[in-house]
Amino acid sequence: MNSKYAPLFETLSFRSGIRVKNRIAMAPMTNYSSNQDGTVSDGEVNYYVRRSKGVGMVITACTYVTANGKGFHGEFGADKDEMIPSLRRLATAIKEQGAKAILQIFHGGRMCPPELVPNQETVSASAVAPEGEGQAVPRALEDAEIESIVKDFGEATRRAIEAGFDGVEIHGANGYLIQQFFSPHSNRREDRFGGSLEKRMTFPMAVIDEVKKTVQDHAKEPFLVGYRFSPEEPETPGITMADTLTLVDALADKDLDYLHVSLMDFWSTPRRGADDTRPRMELIKEKAGDRVPVIGLGSILTADDALKALESGIPLIGLGREIIIDPDWVEKVEQGKESEIVTKINKNAQEKLVVPDPLWQAIVNTPGWFPGVK
């Protein structure tokens, strides 16, 4: 290995006691490839095995915690105990390759396709449809239902523990239910779950507390809890950078193992709500301080990109699309072959890259999503 990349291969210990062998994580990416009944498919397992050897930890695609939270066709479930063997199969496959296995837990809220949820009824913080043509108006959740979904996040965490995962990541990003409660666009409530910025944080904080309590009650070995969020929303009203920094401040006080920022570009700058033109990652890192480590990602294509991101003070780097394009990304850097990293998708390499068909079709038919697809 070229010694300048040695910092990428330093170990890191989290607050929980979980320790990763390097500073690179596989980011969570939906793959649309689970079985019809919500169990993990052979294609999915093979896809993760192909990518789990080099990275320090693998954060899985999101799994729904309750039936009315299923957000994607071909998404695997953690909503009932019958799913534990399926979850165990995935955790075992990842861990056998030497990576820590982190299960991302989620509820899609108003973003769920109606045909995937009971009675075709989507739910959210308020009865406000997502922006865009022909979007369904969700039903506003009642207090008791909100409390029930909080418990569902705890139950999914218990299943993750029983299945042998090393941790869970709470999915509070990308416009799904937890973010819907934090967003002034989707949350127009005037009760304890909405109204002010602080009250809009009630649901996310309740989910964190429930997940942490579950870990305390059920985990016999170190088990980490991370939280993912999106820094801003394009909608008006919507989450601004100022709102996000308030959220980061609150999250940093929750004794989490890490915060994970969902970005397409690591170096992107705020749209609004900050008089500061520094990258969002820098502002978030500054607000989190030494209280909690931050995972940063977004268009980190080469070893030099990763090193530059790490040198900004962010202790962990996520690879998403990059590790689909080149599953051997980490090993190539480790073996001094960083110049051989592939940075554009090879449209003829599906079999070699071990990408399940539903995900492959999404990649090659979505111009601009992956480098190399026009």
pLDDT at 126: 98
**What does the pLDDT average to over 27-42?**
98
Whether 283 and 259 have beta carbons less than 8 Å apart is answered as: no
Comparing 273 with 167, the larger pLDDT belongs to 167
Q: Which of 276, 249, 281 is nearest to 263 (CA)?
A: 281
**What does the pLDDT average to over 85-92?**
98
Q: Is position 220 within any domain?
A: yes
Whether 212 and 224 have beta carbons less than 8 Å apart is answered as: no
Strands 12-13 and 19-20: antiparallel
pLDDT over 90 (residue 78): yes
Q: Which amino acid is at 264?
A: M
pLDDT category of residue 81 using cuts at 50, 70 and 90: very high
Q: Is position 226 within any domain?
A: yes
Q: Which domain holds residue 116?
A: 3-364
Q: Is position 84 within any domain?
A: yes
C-alpha pair distances (Å), 257 with each of 50, 273, 309, 370: 26, 27, 20, 30
pLDDT category of residue 275 using cuts at 50, 70 and 90: confident
Distance, CA of 25 to CA of 59 (rounded, Å): 7
Query: Which residues are within 8 A (CB) of 238 and not within 5 positions of it... i.e. 6 or more apart?
Result: 183, 184, 185, 232
**What does the pLDDT average to over 67-90?**
98
* Cis before 237 (ω within 30): yes
pLDDT category of residue 245 using cuts at 50, 70 and 90: very high
pLDDT at 273: 82
pLDDT over 90 (residue 91): yes
Q: Is position 369 within any domain?
A: no
pLDDT category of residue 309 using cuts at 50, 70 and 90: very high
**What does the pLDDT average to over 206-224?**
98
**What does the pLDDT average to over 172-200?**
98
Q: What is the average pLDDT value for the chain, to the nearest integer? A: 97
Distance, CA of 83 to CA of 12 (rounded, Å): 31
Q: Is position 52 within any domain?
A: yes
**What does the pLDDT average to over 38-66?**
98
Question: What's 47's domain CATH number?
Answer: 3.20.20.70
Both tokens of residue 325? 């394009």
Annotated catalytic residues are 176
Q: Is position 371 within any domain?
A: no
**What does the pLDDT average to over 68-96?**
98
* 41-46 own/partner pairs: CB under 8 Å, 24+ apart: 41/356, 43/356, 43/357, 44/76, 44/90, 44/356, 45/89, 45/90, 45/93, 46/354, 46/356
Q: Is position 374 within any domain?
A: no
Q: Is position 332 within any domain?
A: yes
pLDDT category of residue 3 using cuts at 50, 70 and 90: very high
Q: What percent of the chain has pLDDT over 90?
A: 97
End-to-end CA distance of the chain: 34
Distance, CA of 27 to CA of 262 (rounded, Å): 9
- What is the tally of structural domains in the chain? 1
pTM of the model: 0.98
Per-residue pLDDT tens digits for 110-155: 999 999 999 999 999 999 999 999 899 999 999 999 999 999 999 9
